[in-house]
Amino acid sequence: MVVPLPDSFRRTAVQAGDVRINTVVAGDGPPLLLLHGYPQTHLIWHRVAPLLAARHTVVLTDLRGYGDSGKPAGGPGHEAYAKRAMAADQVRVMRELGFDRFAVAGHDRGGRVAHRLALDHPAAVRALAVLDIVPTRHAFRHVDKAFAEGYFHWFFLTAGGGVPEHLIGGDPDFWVRTRMNSRHSGGAAFDPAAVDEYVRCFADPAAIHASCEDYRAAATVDLEHDEEDARRGNRIEVPLLAMWGEHGFVGRHYDVPAVWREYASDVRALPLPTDHYVPEEAPERTAAALDEFISG
């Protein structure tokens, strides 16, 4: 059973170039794009979006390769799942909906897409919120034993020869539930129907492959793009809100505000008493923080 969103939330499929993006829209007011992470779908925002829709037009999408969005096959260079390509999808979606400039908030992989979106399309973004991440470039440049243990999937999912696809495909239900349950503490419990929906979407072999390509891109072409931005001195110039779970790896392992100040000029910071899945573990506080940030 799919987690119900209010009847005011309307579902559509937006053609963004050669990829169809599953999209849900509700509310009235300044536009806010909400992007999900791994191994989830737009439904990670199911407790947050109705609260924000009272004052904003909220747009929830499934990233390419995830949920009910299109799943390109990918290729040797992994460019089909570069954050640059995924960010361009989202800009096209917002333009199709009539929004040339908007705020964007992304959790986990969605935060990395949102970061790239703000770098590649600065005229489109008026505010950026990133949830429970530090920049990909920083994470890879500071790998240690704790990171390798806590984020082992970053390396497992990049393996070639179809190895992660084969192993995850043997029991995707186990993989999704184990990944999520191992990174949850201190907040509200997951909605079982939401988790069932994540499993339904992720059980598609094309989704498993696409998500592996997402991580392969992060370790290759995404890093090339990030290093080029660093060489050019490109930074996020719009206001950036970094939110993170103080019980999770990010909160315990990094000085999150200090890291983001290396990449952005105007950083606000907010730790929350959660683990990784901030929008599901602390929805009211997440919604209130986002509302205050983008309304300010």
Taking the C-alpha atoms of residue 125 and residue 122, their distance in angstroms, rounded to an integer, is 5
- Sheet containing 19-26, strands listed edge to edge, beginning at the edge strand earlier in sequence: 10-16, 19-26, 57-61, 31-35, 102-107, 125-131, 240-245, 267-272
**Tokens for 92?**
């096209």
Whole-angstrom CA distances from 6 to 25, 27, 220 are 11, 11, 40
- Chain position carrying tokens 């988790």: 195
How far is it, in rounded angstroms, from Cα 283 to Cα 135? Answer: 23
Is residue 36 part of the annotated active site? The answer reads no
Q: Which of 56, 78, 225, 276 is catalytic?
A: 276
Find the radius of gyration of the CA atoms of the chain: 17
Q: What is the rounded CA–CA span in Å between residue 215 and residue 196?
A: 23
For residue 33, list its beta bridge partners. 59, 104
Check 62, 89, 108, 214 and give the catalytic one: 108
C-alpha 256/C-alpha 138 separation (Å) is 11
Q: Is 108 a catalytic residue?
A: yes
- Determine the 3-state secondary structure of 169 from DSSP: helix
What lies within 8 Å, CB to CB, of 107 at 6+ separation is 35, 36, 37, 44, 131, 132, 133, 277, 278, 279
Q: Name the residues annotated as catalytic.
A: 108, 276
